[in-house]
Amino acid sequence: MNFIKNNLANALTLANLFAGCVGAIHLILGDYQTTAICLILSSIFDFFDGFVSRALKSNSNLGLQLDSLADMVSFGLIPGLTMYKALEPFGTELLGIHLPFEIKYFGLLVTLFSCLRLAIFNLDEEQRYYFKGLNTPTNTVLLFGLYYAFKETNSFSFLFENELLLVLLTIITSWLLISPIKMMAMKFKSKKIQDNYAKLILVVGGIAILAIFQIVGIPMLVIYYILVSLVFQKQLS
């Protein structure tokens, strides 16, 4: 029983990693629906490994390292590959200039900064009730959500038909990962309504966005989350 108790959370973390690996493979193959399913599974496993670890009091340094390594694939490699796929059609051309390399590799900048963000997070003890910068799962939802909506409904075509906008999106999201901007975490310090206005606004607005826009609303929800976090900067601590 002690073996199961001590390793159940790690098993969930490895399940997150497995789903992330499968999702990355299918993203390369152009099977975006399977990638979406894998990201959902990775998010569920990522949530429950921490929940189980706290519930069973099985926290360990091994678990901490495994969690970051699994997230690096599910929420670091996949968003980088997403931008890689989005930039692939443009070949070596940027603003009419032919570069000596294919610009699709620029999309992997997101993966590099995701790795940096995860390393910084592991060393930062301040981020208990808020995140410093955009966390990797949320950034993945934004980038893959945009690309998935484009592939499924042709939404955001203005973005995916313009290589400059895609490069700018890559740069902005890479910076957001390591930025000093406080981002809301869904952890409650108290049950007082006045202490949780921002979270209530986020939840109510988020439900409305998803109800109205459905698949297209998924990346819009992340943008809304960023805006709410910016408005309530002083309340996040």
Q: With 0.85 as the threshold, say if the pTM is over it.
A: yes
Q: Mean pLDDT over residues 151-171, rounded?
A: 95
Q: What gap in Å lies between CA 7 and CA 151, rounded to an integer?
A: 39
Pairwise pLDDT comparison (143 vs 182), residue with the higher score: 143
| Closest by CA position to 94, among listed 171, 31, 155, 33 | 171
Pairwise pLDDT comparison (100 vs 124), residue with the higher score: 100
- Which amino acid is present at 156? F
3-class secondary structure for the chain?
CHHHHHHHHHHHHHHHHHHHHHHHHHHHHCCHHHHHHHHHHHHHHHHHHHHHHHHCCCCCHHHHHHHHHHHHHHHHHHHHHHHHHHHHHHCCEECCEECCCCHHHHHHHHHHHHHHHHHHHHHCCCCCCEEECCCHHHHHHHHHHHHHHHHHHCCCHHHHCCHHHHHHHHHHHHHHHHCCCEEECCCCCCCCHHHCHHHHHHHHHHHHHHHHHHHHHHHHHHHHHHHHHHHCHHHCC
pLDDT confidence of 110, banded at 50, 70, 90? Answer: very high
pLDDT digit string, tens, across residues 24-55 = 999 999 999 999 999 999 999 998 877 777 76
Look at residue 176 and tell me whether its pLDDT is greater than 90.
yes
pLDDT digit string, tens, across residues 116-133 = 999 988 887 766 667 889
Q: Mean pLDDT over residues 149-159, rounded?
A: 95
Q: What gap in Å lies between CA 165 and CA 143, rounded to an integer?
A: 13
Q: What is the structure's pLDDT at 50?
A: 73
